[in-house]
């Protein structure tokens, strides 16, 4: 355990940021799974809505620095491609 006051505060801040980052990642992964389910069920309307949600969540994660931009673009591109192939 840290003895210096600033180190103690840093530990608290790191824990808080780690939790926030985990929440962003989990939100992205869950919306991607939701979208994949809609695609597997061949539900075009639900898949289209899910892709919009995924894009929003991925963009937010990128802006927070949780996900790299190229990774985000690749994920969005793959999901869009799958939805377009359904139509």
Does residue 19 have a pLDDT over 80?
yes
How far is 66 from 8, CA to CA, in rounded Å?
24
> pTM for this one?
0.86
Listed by start position, the domains of the chain span 21-86
Q: Please compute the mean of the pLDDT values over residues 4-26 and round it to a whole number.
A: 96
Nearest to 30, CA basis, from 53, 7, 52, 64: 53
Confidence of residue 87 (pLDDT cuts 50, 70, 90): confident
Predicted confidence at residue 40, as pLDDT, reads 95
Q: Render pLDDT for 51-64 as a digit per residue (tens, 0 to 9).
A: 999 999 999 999 99
């Amino acid at each position: 355990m840290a003895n210096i006051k600033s180190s103690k505060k840093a530990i608290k801040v790191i824990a808080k940021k780690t939790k926030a980052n985990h929440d962003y990642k989990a939100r992205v992964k869950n919306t991607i799974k939701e979208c994949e389910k809609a695609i597997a069920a061949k539900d075009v309307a639900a898949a289209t809505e899910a892709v919009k949600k995924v894009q929003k969540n991925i963009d937010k994660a990128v802006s927070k620095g949780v996900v790299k931009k190229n990774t985000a673009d690749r994920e969005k591109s793959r999901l869009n491609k799958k939805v377009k192939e359904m139509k």
